[in-house]
């Protein structure tokens, strides 16, 4: 149990982290080809917030800078933050469900299904839009959901979903879908570059429509995980112990699987496959603050958002005017940490 004193401390730490997140977002919005100051960016953003917009004047600012901040940089920064938030909370939930700190949001093959959907859209040349969302995004989302249904159907035994079977079916389906993507690239060589760039992750095409769509999935997912945070804590003790304490284990697994799959599908459909965020952020938070999901989930959400915003800023500024896929940045940071976890676990064994 978290004492009231510790609870106050955690709330203070979370508030400070949110303030850092907000300040970092504004700072990142100033970085890029166009030279925009921190104060100018802050005033442009505040001017577009209801109730305080009349208090801030932007008449002296360039209209070009306003467009850059509001229509290009800000949607991208917010979208990357929401992606990081979604992947991190799913990573925390999966690590509890699988009882394994190595579990990540893509463990069930959702990324491969999404990538196949996106690859199909790319090779068929479907670049139209529907309600402001690209066909690539919609097919990627559909691919992720269909993959989840297939994996769940394979793993289900009666009314139960054995964790080991679920994991193995996810790995098997993931390999199959990856093979299909490879075949698509072989027979559509002119599309290889687009497919590879998408699978390496990017939020360069961010729009406010994508921000709104993804926010709905991630916020709902965050709220549901917070509601079941106590149950996730008990899940860590083992299925039998959890059942003896009144937890409906199979129902909790299904809820976790469904919500996680929807959140990951939404994230991957707008950003491509971005690795290691959902692995390292929950793990770092768990090391620093402990395994209590009432604390772990909100801190993972804010920490994941901050990590993704900083990673994406590096992706778009390090090689400017060219751009590095953000998945490459997160992997450069995440892969060494993953190796460290393996070595640490090996020493324990």
Domains and CATH numbers, the chain: 4-348 (1.10.3470.10)
Is-contact 285 306, C-beta < 8 A? no
Q: Average pLDDT, stretch 295-300? A: 96
Quick one: pLDDT at residue 349? 57
Is the pLDDT assigned to residue 129 strictly greater than 50? no
Is the pLDDT assigned to residue 53 strictly greater than 80? no
Quick one: pLDDT at residue 2? 55
Q: Among residues 308, 286, 310, 134, which one has the least CA distance to residue 205?
A: 134
Q: Average pLDDT, stretch 4-30? A: 86
| Distance from C-alpha of 79 to C-alpha of 312, rounded to nearest angstrom | 10
Is the pLDDT assigned to residue 195 strictly greater than 80? yes
Is-contact 113 178, C-beta < 8 A? no
pLDDT-derived band of residue 3, with 50, 70 and 90 as boundaries? Answer: low
Quick one: pLDDT at residue 36? 85
Q: Which residue, chain included where needed, has tokens 């940490």?
A: 337
Q: Average pLDDT, stretch 81-94? A: 95
| Distance from C-alpha of 94 to C-alpha of 98, rounded to nearest angstrom | 6
Is the pLDDT assigned to residue 98 strictly greater than 70? yes
Q: In whole numbers, what is the pLDDT of the chain averaged over residues?
A: 87
């Amino acid at each position: 149990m978290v004492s009231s004193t510790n609870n106050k401390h955690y709330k203070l730490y979370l508030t400070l982290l949110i303030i850092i997140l907000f300040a970092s977002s504004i700072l990142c919005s100033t970085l890029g080809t166009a030279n925009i100051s921190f104060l100018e960016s802050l005033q442009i953003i505040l001017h577009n917030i209801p109730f305080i917009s009349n208090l801030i004047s932007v008449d002296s600012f360039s209209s070009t800078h306003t467009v850059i901040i509001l229509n290009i940089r800000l949607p991208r920064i917010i979208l990357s933050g929401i992606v990081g938030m979604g992947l991190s909370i799913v990573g925390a939930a999966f690590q509890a469900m699988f009882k394994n700190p190595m579990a990540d949001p893509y463990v069930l093959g959702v990324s491969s299904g999404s990538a196949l959907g996106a690859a199909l859209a790319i090779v068929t040349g479907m670049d139209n839009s529907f309600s402001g969302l690209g066909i690539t995004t919609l097919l990627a989302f559909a691919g992720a959901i269909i993959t989840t249904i297939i994996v769940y159907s394979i793993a289900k035994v009666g009314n139960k979903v054995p964790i080991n079977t679920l994991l193995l079916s996810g790995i098997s389906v993931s390999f199959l879908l990856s093979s299909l993507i490879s075949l698509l690239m072989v027979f559509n060589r002119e599309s290889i570059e687009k497919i590879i760039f998408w699978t390496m992750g990017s939020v360069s095409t961010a729009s406010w429509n994508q921000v709104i769509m993804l926010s709905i999935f991630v916020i709902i997912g965050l709220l549901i995980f917070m509601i079941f945070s106590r149950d996730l804590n008990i899940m860590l003790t083992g299925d039998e112990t959890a059942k003896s304490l009144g937890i409906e284990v199979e129902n909790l697994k299904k809820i976790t699987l469904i919500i996680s799959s929807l959140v990951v599908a939404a994230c991957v459909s707008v950003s491509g496959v971005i690795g290691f965020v959902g692995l390292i952020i929950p793990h770092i938070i768990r090391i620093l603050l402990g395994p209590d999901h009432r604390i772990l989930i909100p801190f993972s959400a804010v920490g994941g958002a901050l990590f993704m915003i900083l990673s994406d800023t590096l992706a778009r500024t390090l090689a400017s005017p060219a751009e590095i896929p953000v998945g490459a940045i997160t992997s450069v940071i995440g892969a060494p940490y993953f190796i460290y976890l393996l070595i640490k676990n090996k020493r324990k064994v």
